[in-house]
Amino acid sequence: MRRLAVLIAALAVLAAVAPWVAPYDPETQHRDFMFAPPMAPRVLDGGTLRAPFVYPIAMADRLAQRYEENRASRRSLPWFDDNVTDPVFLLGADSFGRDLLSRLLHGARVSLSLALVSAAGALLLGTIIGGLAGYRGGWVDDAAMRAADFVIVLPVIYVSLVLRAVMPLVLLPSTVFLSMAGIFTIVGWPFVARGVRGIVASEREREYVVAARSLGAGGWRILTRHLLPACGGYVLVQATLLLPAFILGEATLSYVGLGFPEHMATWGTMLIEAASASAMTRFPWTLAPAFAIFAVVLSANIILQSDKIGGRPI
């Protein structure tokens, strides 16, 4: 459980500080550096130890988009040098000459914030509905679980696409953020609600609940103070599953043109740059957002699987 919470906190911190650690404005275009390759940081120059630097690059063949290093000169890393006329691309540049590292970090703020907000909404709604269904039973339980079953049996990604497609195509970024968060919350809450409902239904007749009820505790107090805390481990596991799913959902919607505007840096819009076969083969550094998504998804699954294999309570 602790490692799941650490992962969620780390993603939240990354999303919060991304604009302050990005070396350049994500929209700044350097027309002389279109598809510039990554520039490797170095600390040795001719056997001499120096502060981290890179060798500047220049276009050698515009038709082939080939660059060459100028080893007669050195450039400090962008955090220690305000020169933007001769930029440093640690992860390379895209087809407009925009710094991929800056766009990746700014995109993390949007993509991770959307995933965190959506996951929080799905967890909150699913926990409330599942808790009420498990505690009250009867028609409340039947209605809630039938609604959950209806959403679960639908293909989630197609439901997301349809819900987004019925909205106007051109929306403000803030409106896109809220609408996508609402869509992900709608498709995510049933997975949380079913598990919470099962835990609450099995715990409501336990001795400590009966004792609390005999002492005059009301149903809401029993539910919030005793039953829902028992679902904490399950809710954290669901958070670990929903976060990468929502990151992939944003990437999919943006990739097909139903997400954020193309000029806005998100991991999904950045993948449009790498959509063509020529970009993937000739300029593989444009796949940086795909590797970022892969890293988040892999980290979540490794943590989840290691807790299951190790037999630790989650």
For 210-268, the pLDDT digits (tens) are 787 777 777 677 777 778 888 888 888 888 788 888 888 888 887 777 778 777 888 88
pTM reported for the whole predicted model: 0.79
What per-residue confidence (pLDDT) applies to 314? 47
Which ranges of the chain have pLDDT less than 70?
1-5, 8, 82-85, 169, 219, 276-279, 304, 306-314
Q: Which residues contact 137 (CB under 8 A, 6 or more apart)?
A: 201
Q: Count CB atoms within 10 A of the CB of residue 177.
A: 20
CA separation for the pair 242, 231 (Å, rounded): 16
Strand order in the sheet with 42-45: 42-45, 48-54, 75-76
**Do residues 31 and 54 make contact, with C-beta atoms less than 8 angstroms apart?**
no
At 85 the pLDDT is 67
Angle at 112 between CA 109 and CA 115, to 5 degrees: 140
Instruction: Specify the pLDDT at position 86.
Output: 79
The confidence score (pLDDT) of residue 313 equals 47
Q: Please report the domains of the chain, with CATH numbers, ordered by start residue.
A: 39-88 (no CATH), 100-310 (1.10.3720.10)
